[in-house]
Amino acid sequence: MSDAMTEKEVEDLLIETSAIMEGHFLLTSGLHSPRYVEKFNVLQKPVYTERLCRAMAEKFKDANIETVVGPVTGGILLAHETGKALGTRAIFTERENGKMTFRRGFTLHEGERVLIVEDIVTTGGSIREVIDVVREHGGIPVAVSMLVDRSGGKATFGDVPCTALLHMDVKTYKPEECPLCQAGAAMTKRGRTGK
């Protein structure tokens, strides 16, 4: 049995676990959106996390990856499971004084081949920071693998190729232009789905 998953299978799994939510959401950016992706609704289930990460790893099984790196928080789980599927080491970056970095004794050797993983990508800013950290420590960022690219294809990483299990083009609105607000729709609470 192949570890690959189609985008439809990924989307169905995220909908089944209420990771993809429909409603009226206030995003961290201050924008409003009719869809929200709460990654931890799926990542809280290890069997699903393992399945998704095996699908992420499948695309890189012949890329001679030595280490998988993900940013705190969701990236830790994805790096661990993707590294397990590839038979590699898994480490993570975190912020220290506002700057993305390796801590906890994590290092890379010169020329180490690194796969960078991330859960939900909207702008790609955190991934760009991880790419910089990998390069600063002598590693080679071979590729970026995303669980969900919700940028509509706008998140790119220069010469580092990227792939995603699911591509979403999620509409966002400035509060004063939001059709959901204009229709009187209440904001949907996040974090508790009852499942």
Can you list the domains of the chain with their CATH numbers?
Answer: 7-182 (3.40.50.2020)
Mean pLDDT for the stretch of residues 88-115:
95
Q: Which of 134, 55, 59 is nearest to 93 (CA)?
A: 134
DSSP structural state of residue 58: H
pLDDT, tens digit (0-9, with 9 covering 90-100), for 17-75: 999 999 999 887 788 999 888 999 999 999 999 999 999 999 999 999 999 999 998 89
Q: Tell me which amino acid residue 56 is.
A: M
Pairing of strands 113-121, 67-71: parallel
